[in-house]
Amino acid sequence: MQLDEFDKALLRLLQQNNRLTTEQLAMQVSLSQSAVQRRLAKLREERIIEADVSIISPAAAGIGIVCIVDVILQEGNSKAIDQFKKTMQACPEVAQCYYVTGTYDFVLMVNARDMQHFDYFQKHSLMDNPYLKHFYTHVVMDKVKVGFGVEL
């Protein structure tokens, strides 16, 4: 789907506040409400808008620490990669998992209540994983910049 300036304007507004009504969006981008509704439906259908979510405060959910974990697998074969992906998808502590190029095979964002919880996670989900060779953990000290939008 090719995005025009109206689509981009709608997406910019929604990335800032996805609770805007179609009436509010229509006024801000100079389109009719029905045109905005059609465009939003198309953007969702085409998966340009991947999700409409609320971002919850980690502290409110009992998350005390966030760790970034760099993972190196024993072997880089497709079976090991696919199995590791499946394992990480099933871990509730893993908020994000990226298969990457370079020194590491995966980079994880892990949420834990406290260090004991993270220790449990690393023992059961990482140390006991037969495909994993080594991992390095970075405990997040401060969130300097966290964004979920993309530049349009």
pLDDT tens string 48-70: 999 998 889 999 999 999 999 99
pLDDT of residue 111: 98
- Rg (alpha carbons) of the chain, rounded to whole number: 20
pLDDT of residue 31: 97
Report the 3 state secondary structure along 23-92. Answer: HHHHHHHCCCHHHHHHHHHHHHHCCCCCCCCCCCCCHHHCCCEEEEEEEEECCCCHHHHHHHHHHHHCCC
Sign of CA dihedral 27, 53, 85, 88: positive
Which sequence spans correspond to the domains of the chain? 5-45, 59-139
Tell me the mean pLDDT in the region 102-130.
Answer: 96
The pLDDT of residue 76 is above 80: no
The pLDDT of residue 6 is above 90: yes
Q: Which fold has domain 59-139?
A: Alpha-Beta Plaits (3.30.70)
Architecture of domain 5-45: Orthogonal Bundle (1.10)
The pLDDT of residue 11 is above 80: yes
pLDDT of residue 147: 87
59-139 has the same fold as 5-45: no
**Structure tokens belonging to residue 142:** 């401060």
Q: Could you tell me the pTM of the whole model? A: 0.85
CA dist 123 → 37, 118, 134, 147 (Å)? 48, 9, 12, 30
pLDDT of residue 129: 93
pLDDT of residue 133: 95
For 92, list phi and psi in degrees, rounded to 5.
-65, -25
Round to whole Å and give the CA distance between 103 and 118.
23
